[in-house]
């Protein structure tokens, strides 16, 4: 039984079993859920009723050309409404926004908000997150002095009613609610999981395009009728156009990998907030062991669990690292779930098909031992690199406090990252240097960090290789240096490490030097 979406594909055969029988697909985007238990022998499985596709409805909302007005921050463009729906997604025509202009969308049910600028609109392919409720307010926030701003909603997406069926391995469904931050939901159905800061995997039959596909993490329980509830937009991520590799050729050859874009609200990639699993082969020749499957399958046990995250553990049936077999309950929308090893870190593959009943059989997945699957994953990870920022280590200060170094801005090719020093003496200007290096582990053959007490600066540490130095004097407590990243492929994936040093007469060491913590940035695209 295939347990994802994409029900529009015609049934095809896999071996001697019709794809819509033993490998029938299950998906449950829904507003009303009625559970129908199906306990069937593998040889006589009934056809699974395919779910209907999402419903798109033309919609006309046009701000017209909008100029900024003194003393007015925002313009209420209008409310997008559809009576009776449980959720809304807005699809925009390409917007016309001046630099600095933004758009805010607000759910009138729960107040969840999403911000867009011209760049994030392009990242999301002009499609919003999912909002709970019947109405979304649309606001335009023009940049000061701008005159040519315009946004248009041309259609909306709602989810149709779907009545799924269940298939369990045991006599009863033993799955329990879970909250693994690394595992997300695609739209209202299907599961996906993170394999680094921005790379996701799912079942190939779950996804065939990136436009409008929204990945959600930290998903709340469903409502009392089993309707999916969506997290706020800060926990929803769009997919990068052109990043998808999707294959749906039956058991052992069903997988997809893709890259996310930065969240339009937080500016972070999903893995920066959620963490990730590691793609690992099943150890060759090892005896069967317990695996765990985490996903967003349908459930009739408790309707608030339906399409919410649940987990179950059970025995592995084979030692193959390519076609995975296991007796762990999966139901509609579990497609794309990770098959996780006993250490809760290793993902051995992706859940794709169901054939398990209360009396026998197995459920199936595609393992990372499938050469094409692993190659596709490695290709996406090499092509789409997450640009990330972070801090580490501690500084040494004076009576004025300990200086702090922080980085801001997207660390991507062609972009600019701002290095900002704060908490130096607010009463004076201090001469300073920003050290930039290519390592935080060694410099000139010495391991980092280096205790600067050896050179007369006790209590201070050099945390980075001092390969380059930039003059950066603080002006009464703070200073910022813009760092332009060349738009050259050679910089993709490169990491740089920074630390600031300043002369401070109030420092307690004889050299009168204060230092910041270290900061790191990895260049992405």
Residues of the chain with pLDDT > 70, as a percent, come to 89
Residue 25 CA to residue 250 CA, distance in Å, equals 11
- How many Cα atoms are found within 13 Å in the side-chain-facing hemisphere of 10? 1
32 pLDDT band (50/70/90 cuts)? very low
Please give the average per-residue pLDDT across 17-24, as a whole number.
Answer: 25
Consecutive H or E run containing 307: none
User: Which tokens hold the place of 360?
Assistant: 């026998």
C-alpha angle 50/51/57, rounded to 5°?
140
Q: What is the pLDDT of residues 236-255, one digit of tens each?
A: 999 999 999 999 999 999 99
Q: What's the CA gap between 268 and 408, in Å, rounded?
A: 11
Reduce the DSSP state of residue 193 to 3 states and report it.
Answer: strand
Look at residue 164 in the predicted model and tell me its pLDDT.
56
Say if CB 454 and CB 482 are below 8 A apart. no
pLDDT of the residue at 167:
64
pLDDT tens, residue by residue, 394-420: 999 998 889 999 999 999 999 999 999
Which structure tokens are listed for 226?
């089993």
Residue 208: phi and psi, rounded to 5, are -125, -5
**Sign of torsion over alpha carbons 33, 38, 39, 42:** negative
User: pLDDT digit string (tens) for 147-191?
Assistant: 999 999 999 999 765 545 566 787 788 899 999 999 999 988 899
Q: In the chain, what are the domains?
A: 13-53+163-383 (2.40.10.120), 59-158 (2.60.120), 388-522 (2.60.40)
* 377-380-382-384 Cα dihedral, nearest 10 degrees: -150
What is the value of pTM for the model shown?
Answer: 0.85
Q: Yes or no: say if 421 and 493 are a contact pair by the CB < 8 Å rule.
A: no
CA 193 to CA 199: how far, in whole Å?
8
Report the distance separating Cα 514 and Cα 525, nearest Å: 34
pLDDT for residue 126 is more than 80: yes
User: How far is Cα 252 from Cα 428, in angstroms, rounded to an integer?
Assistant: 67
SS3 282: coil
Candidates 356, 330, 10, 358; CA nearest to 164 is: 330
Q: What is the pLDDT of residues 302-344, one digit of tens each?
A: 889 989 999 999 999 888 899 999 999 998 889 999 999 989 9
User: DSSP letters of 327-390?
Assistant: -----TT-TT-EEE-TTSSEEEEEEEEE---SSS--EEEEETTSHHHHHHHHHHHHHSPPPEEE
Mean pLDDT of 483-499: 95
User: In 3D, which of 347, 369, 29 has the Cα closest to residue 195?
Assistant: 347
Residue 445 pLDDT > 50: yes
Whether 83 has a pLDDT exceeding 60, the answer reads yes
């Amino acid at each position: 039984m295939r347990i994802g979406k994409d029900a529009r594909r015609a049934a095809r055969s896999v071996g001697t079993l019709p794809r819509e029988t033993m490998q029938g697909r299950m998906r449950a985007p829904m507003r009303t859920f009625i559970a129908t238990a199906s306990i069937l022998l593998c040889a006589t499985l009934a056809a699974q009723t395919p779910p209907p596709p999402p419903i798109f409805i033309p919609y006309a909302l046009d701000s017209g050309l909008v100029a900024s007005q003194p003393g007015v921050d925002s313009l209420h463009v209008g409310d997008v409404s559809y009576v009776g729906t449980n959720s809304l997604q807005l699809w925009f025509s390409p917007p016309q926004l001046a630099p600095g202009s933004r758009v805010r969308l607000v759910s009138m049910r729960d107040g969840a908000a999403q911000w867009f600028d011209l760049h994030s609109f392009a990242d999301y392919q002009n499609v919003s997150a999912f909002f709970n409720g019947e109405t979304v307010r649309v606001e335009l926030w023009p940049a000061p002095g701008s005159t040519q701003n315009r946004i248009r909603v041309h259609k909306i997406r709602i989810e149709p009613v779907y009545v799924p069926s269940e298939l369990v391995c045991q006599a009863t469904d033993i799955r329990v609610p879970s909250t693994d931050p690394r595992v997300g939901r695609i739209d209202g159905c299907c599961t996906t999981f993170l394999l680094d800061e921005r790379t996701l995997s799912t079942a190939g039959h779950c996804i065939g395009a990136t436009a409008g596909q929204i990945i959600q993490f930290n998903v709340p329980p469903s409502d009392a009728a089993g309707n999916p509830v969506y997290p706020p937009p800060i926990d929803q991520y769009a997919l990068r156009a052109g990043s998808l590799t999707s294959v749906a050729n039956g058991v052992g050859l069903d997988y997809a990998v893709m890259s996310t874009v930065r969240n339009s609200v937080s500016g972070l990639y999903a893995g920066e907030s959620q963490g990730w699993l590691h793609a690992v082969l099943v150890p060759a020749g090892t005896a069967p062991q317990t695996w765990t499957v985490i996903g967003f399958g349908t459930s009739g046990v408790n309707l608030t669990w339906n399409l919410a995250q649940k987990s179950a553990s059970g025995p592995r049936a084979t030692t193959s690292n390519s076609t995975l077999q296991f007796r762990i309950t999966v139901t509609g929308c579990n497609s794309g779930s990770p098959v996780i090893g006993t250490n809760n870190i290793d993902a051995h593959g992706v859940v794709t098909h169901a054939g398990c009943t209360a009396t026998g059989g197995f459920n199936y997945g595609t393992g990372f031992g499938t050469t094409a699957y692993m190659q596709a994953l490695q290709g996406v990870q090499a092509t789409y690199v997450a640009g990330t920022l972070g801090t580490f280590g501690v500084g040494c200060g004076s009576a004025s406090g300990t200086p702090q170094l922080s980085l801001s801005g997207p660390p991507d090719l062609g972009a600019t990252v701002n290095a900002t020093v704060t908490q130096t003496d607010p009463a004076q200007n201090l001469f300073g240097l920003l050290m930039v290096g290519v390592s935080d582990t060694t410099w000139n053959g010495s391991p980092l960090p280096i205790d600067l007490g050896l050179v007369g600066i006790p209590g201070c540490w050099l945390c980075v290789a001092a390969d380059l130095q930039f003059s950066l004097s603080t002006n009464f407590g703070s200073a910022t240096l813009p760092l332009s990243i060349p738009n050259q492929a050679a910089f993709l994936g490169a990491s740089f490490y920074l630390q600031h040093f300043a002369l401070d007469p109030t420092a307690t060491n004889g050299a009168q030097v204060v230092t910041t913590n270290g900061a790191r940035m990895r260049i992405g695209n």
